[in-house]
Amino acid sequence: MTDTTVETPKTREEILAMSLEARVAEVMNYQINIDNYTIALEEIGNLPPDERAELSAFTEQLRTLLTSEKLEQKKAKIMLNVIKRQVE
């Protein structure tokens, strides 16, 4: 059995560095979702009208998710900038 102790940050700088890394990843994850939902909507838009109609509820769900992800990404970017200012 391996001993995997995780060292907790001890200084303000260490905590900010970890927070910065986490916020960068958070913004990137939102962007991946935004890209996925955008491409999915494009794919659905390329389908024949009858298939698009069948997927109308899913299309609406994707639009709602896309709007939500964009808003959450804006919030994450603000917090990322706050952390960057503290690291400067």
Phi, psi torsion values for 39, nearest 5 degrees: -65, -40
Concatenating the DSSP letter of every residue in 45-85 gives HTS-HHHHHHTHHHHHHHHHHHHHHHHHHHHHHHHHHHHHH
Whole-structure pTM value: 0.85
Question: What is the tens place of the pLDDT at every residue in 43-82?
Answer: 999 999 999 999 999 999 999 999 999 999 999 999 999 9
